[in-house]
Amino acid sequence: MVTLFERNENRKIRIEPNPFKPVKQKFKMRVRKINNGVPVVNLNGDPVYTDETPESLYRVPGTHTRICVARTNNGVKTGLNILVKNPYKDNDVFKVEWAERILKGKEKVLLQHLLEYEFDFEFDYLTHRIPEGAIASDSPNKKFFQLPESKPMLDGNVKFLDVSTNPVHRINYYTLLASKEVANSWEDLENGGNTDALWYIVDEEAKQIREKSKAMRTVEGGSAIKELNDSNSDAIIHMAKALELSEASDRNITKNKAFNAVYNYYNKGGKEFDNFMDWYSIWKDPGTRNRFLAASEVYDYIRYGVVSYKNGRYTWYKAVPGQATENFTFNGKNNFINEFLLDPAMQEHVELLQEEYENKIR
């Protein structure tokens, strides 16, 4: 996972639970092994134990999880071991001696050293090279990632990070960005970019953009679906088929059922909404409406086995009595529509395809 770096320290950072994935805790209990209701013992007569995973776990109110930096062959994943633009490269005066050697004249420096300088930490205090093994709690030589505050606590509630004034929160932010338990954004979750994440990071600006997008889906989508539904044709049913919705497989699908299926589809998210609006635009334009209707026909052809679909390939096996079977294969729906169903040179074949389909549904 790539750690993101943004220079805007005035954002309001929130860490929220992943709504797509319930929190699961890996937990095993050591219990005595039982066979037919009798405790099992070894040759010495001692009880035999086994590990079992409980069927149900409940989070006790007030409990939490600490996000620890993951250990790799190159040290721990702090999120700070990345090169970023150096705003101090042209400085002639530095507030600490080590900074001139590390920062002066360099276009890029480690984020670790940049934060050490800005927060008045000693050199390498934020290092990712942490030795394994315990260290005395009163040791004066502890690095940041050996301290409890390096492990941010998350639970089932929203956590706020003050990255503008709190150094620990700023470092925690980059650590969380580097953790696979925390998605970098809502889009990362929505697009399936981090299936292991139990939380996700959001800032106020991103949240406002997402809420605006949802409002636009309500306004634009509502207007479009109403126009489809109110038309004198079965446009809303054709839309359900063009979107390849499972509800459209009902041979006697009603306009009301198609309406609800399309509405639920485009409200899922940005990708679905954009796909719906693209097909709506194609239907709206008289010059491209035939393409919209052809997409609906493709759904029916595949459903009734007239056209076969596999791995993105659409194939029609033309079988005419007394003639050799001829195959028409196209990669992708658009090619099948444009190069076959709507191609004037192919209309003689398309008529036979339509005749085969009509015989199937009688």
Q: Per-residue pLDDT tens for 62-73?
A: 556 888 888 888
111 domain residue, yes or no: yes
Within this chain, do residues 237 and 201 fall inside the same structural domain, yes or no? no
Within this chain, do residues 241 and 301 fall inside the same structural domain, yes or no? no
DSSP 150: G
Strands 182-183 and 199-203 come out as: parallel
Q: Which residues of 41-69 are buried (b: 16+ CB within 10 A; e: fewer)?
A: eeeeeeeeeeeeeeeeeeeeeeeebebeb
**Residue in the structure block whose two tokens are 């932010």:** 173
Within this chain, do residues 148 and 249 fall inside the same structural domain, yes or no? no
64 φ/ψ angles, rounded to the nearest 5 degrees: -155, 175
Within this chain, do residues 31 and 116 fall inside the same structural domain, yes or no? yes
Within this chain, do residues 184 and 258 fall inside the same structural domain, yes or no? no
Note down the domain range covering 101: 13-206
In the listed set 239, 255, 284, which residue is the last one of a domain according to the structure?
284
Tell me the pLDDT tens digit for each residue of 183-236: 888 777 776 667 778 888 886 666 777 777 778 788 889 999 999 999 989 999
Q: What per-residue confidence (pLDDT) applies to 8?
A: 54
Within this chain, do residues 361 and 242 fall inside the same structural domain, yes or no? no
220 domain residue, yes or no: no
Within this chain, do residues 170 and 297 fall inside the same structural domain, yes or no? no
327 φ/ψ angles, rounded to the nearest 5 degrees: -100, 140
CA dihedral 312, 316, 317, 318 (to 10 degrees): -160
What does the alpha-carbon distance between residue 168 and residue 144 come to, in Å, rounded to a whole number?
Answer: 9
Bridge-partner residues for 14, per DSSP?
A: 160, 202
pLDDT band for 28, please (50, 70, 90 cuts).
low
Taking the whole predicted model, whether its pTM rises above 0.75 is answered as no
Within this chain, do residues 187 and 326 fall inside the same structural domain, yes or no? no
330 domain residue, yes or no: yes
What does the alpha-carbon distance between residue 207 and residue 276 come to, in Å, rounded to a whole number?
Answer: 23
Within this chain, do residues 309 and 278 fall inside the same structural domain, yes or no? no
Q: Would you tell me how many other CB atoms lie within 10 Å of the CB of residue 316?
A: 22
Within this chain, do residues 345 and 274 fall inside the same structural domain, yes or no? no
Task: Please list, in sequence order, all residues whose beta carbon lies within 8 angstroms of the beta carbon of residue 97, skipping any fewer than 6 positions away.
Answer: none
Q: Quick one: which H or E segment has residue 22?
A: none
Q: What per-residue confidence (pLDDT) applies to 57?
A: 47
Within this chain, do residues 75 and 127 fall inside the same structural domain, yes or no? yes
DSSP 47: B
What does the alpha-carbon distance between residue 304 and residue 313 come to, in Å, rounded to a whole number?
Answer: 17
**Residue in 162, 161, 200 with CA at minimum distance from that of residue 180:** 200
What does the alpha-carbon distance between residue 323 and residue 214 come to, in Å, rounded to a whole number?
Answer: 55
**Residue in 174, 149, 172, 145 with CA at minimum distance from that of residue 159:** 172
Q: How many domains does the chain have?
A: 3
Mean pLDDT confidence for 281-295: 94
State in Å, rounded, how far the first CA of the chain is from the last one: 55
